[in-house]
Structure 1
Amino acid sequence: MYSQITKNIVWHNGFITRKDRNNVYGHKSGVLWFTGLPSSGKSSIAHTFEKLLFEKGIKCYVLDGDNIRHGLNADLDFGEEDRRENIRRVVEVAKLFVDAGLIVLASFVSPYKKDREYIRRQFEGDNFIEIYVKCSVEECARRDPKGYYEKAKKGLIKGYTGVDSPYEEPERPDIVIDTEKTNIDDAVVVIFKYLKYHNWF
């Protein structure tokens, strides 16, 4: 569908390139994709990491699953097809942010293996890191600040990941953060060291 719509549209290249922005900002741009069950700690880690990078003068931004659904993806529900469209749109936004020279911290449950493979393909050969924020369903339900697990168990929410919709564990993530064993501050240090080692800044 999208190829038919866009076949007569040509991309317009501006005068400022991503490389120009990276050189001025003093760091690479790319995507850190946080995946994991709801309430595993994805957003908490992503926002804490954003704060650390920002304080160091590094251009960055969090794309948070819940926040995105308040606006850009407010028309989508949680069925498999809408989840896929949710991811597609976020990937396109992330590409723009990366071109703008930012480090994007994308925090999305992204429960399906095929969707995460799609995400990785879109950034193939680019700066992309998949971070699996690991946590058991039982612990996620216990710490759930919004009460969604309980509502899902009562049938008030349908298609909730970890209750009546599956989460397919990543097989080869770049980083695994087990939030039942690692606190937020330590998780942030692990990620920062990983980026530093791989010369992002």
Structure 2
Amino acid sequence: MPTTAASITRAERAIQNRHRGAVLWLTGLSGAGKSTVAQALARRLFEMDCRSYVLDGDQLRTGLCSDLGFSDAARSENIRRAGELAALFADAGMIVICAFISPFADSRARARALVPDGAFLEIFCQCPLAVCEERDVKGLYRRARDGQLAQFTGISSPYEAPAAPDLVLDTASGSVDAALASLLLLLRERRIVHQS
């Protein structure tokens, strides 16, 4: 059967939802606070009657991307799949909060290209490597330093920080409440959610 145009437009979904569909892409090192901020924002948006969903790197690695390793090519494919999924959610009118290390700038640019202009917001969770290593709740940095994990971002594999993110969050010393305030302000300024 031939592909047909969507019968419900993005504008119609925005009117029904009372907000626009969008992708908030949180990027940063492991332990930078991406998942914590993403879950807190999802809770706040829920309280505001906004339709949102969190896509988390760990979550996708156990399901949709369970067949992928951690080579550069596999990391790029992981983010390609995540970007495609996020774009579908955003097209359905949801605010998708993505929490992925996503170490390569070109992979993040490809994810951005999947959604209309203004509907992709790159959020850099800026946290020094030393602080991320102190947090290390999963013991990953210790294992990487001990040579048990090859190609670990920040240790034996590079992380390309965003050159011009839509927002930088200081997740080393800033509070979750401060991060939420900055994110909500950005969502209002970009007219994704209403001022009220």
If the TM-score is normalised by the length of the shorter chain, which range does it land in?
over 0.9
Equivalent position of 1:15 in the other structure: 7
The CA deviation at 1:12 is 3.3
CA distance in 1, matches of 2:108, 2:7: 33
- 1:102 corresponds in structure 2 to 94
Query: 1:35 and 1:170 mapped to 2: Cα distance?
Result: 8
TM-superposed deviation, 1:124: 4.9
2:91 maps to 1:114: no
Matches within 5 A, 1:36-115: 36-115=28-107
Distance in structure 1 (CA, Å) of the matches to 2:85 and 2:176: 26
Q: Give the one of 177, 180, 193 matched to 1:185.
A: 177
2:25 is matched with which residue: 28, 33, 55?
33
2:32 match: secondary structure: coil
Q: Deviations over 1:77-99 (max 9, x none)?
A: 11110111111111111111011
User: SS in structure 2 opposite 1:167?
Assistant: coil
| Partner residue in 2 for 1:134 | 126
Q: Specify the code of the residue in structure 2 equivalent to 1:150.
A: R
What does the per-residue CA deviation read over 1:43-77, in whole Å, with 9 as the maximum and x for residues that have no partner?
A: 10011000000111000000000001110000001
What's the offset of the Cα at 1:158? 1.0
The question of 1:162 aligning with 2:154 is answered: yes
- TM norm structure 1: 0.92
CA contact (8 A) 2:84 2:111 kept: no
Q: Give the structure 1 partner of residue 137 of structure 2.
A: 145
How many pairs does the alignment contain?
193
Q: What is the match of residue 5 of structure 1?
A: none
Runs of 5+ unmatched residues, structure 2: none
- Could you tell me how far 1:181 is from its partner in structure 2? 2.4
Identity, % of aligned positions: 40
SS at match of 2:25: strand
CA distance in 2, matches of 1:17, 1:58: 18
Distance 1:122 1:100 in 2: 14
- Match for 2:93: what amino acid? G
Deviation at residue 22 of structure 1 after TM alignment: 1.3
Work out the CA distance in 2 between the residues paired with 1:164 and 1:141: 14
In the other structure, the counterpart of 1:6 is none
Q: Is the deviation greater in 11-20 or in 169-178? A: 11-20
- SS of structure 1 residue aligned to 2:49: coil
Partner of 2:192: 200
**Cα offset for 1:121?**
2.3
CA RMSD of aligned residues (A): 1.3
| CA distance, structure 2, for counterparts of residue 55 and residue 124 of structure 1 | 26
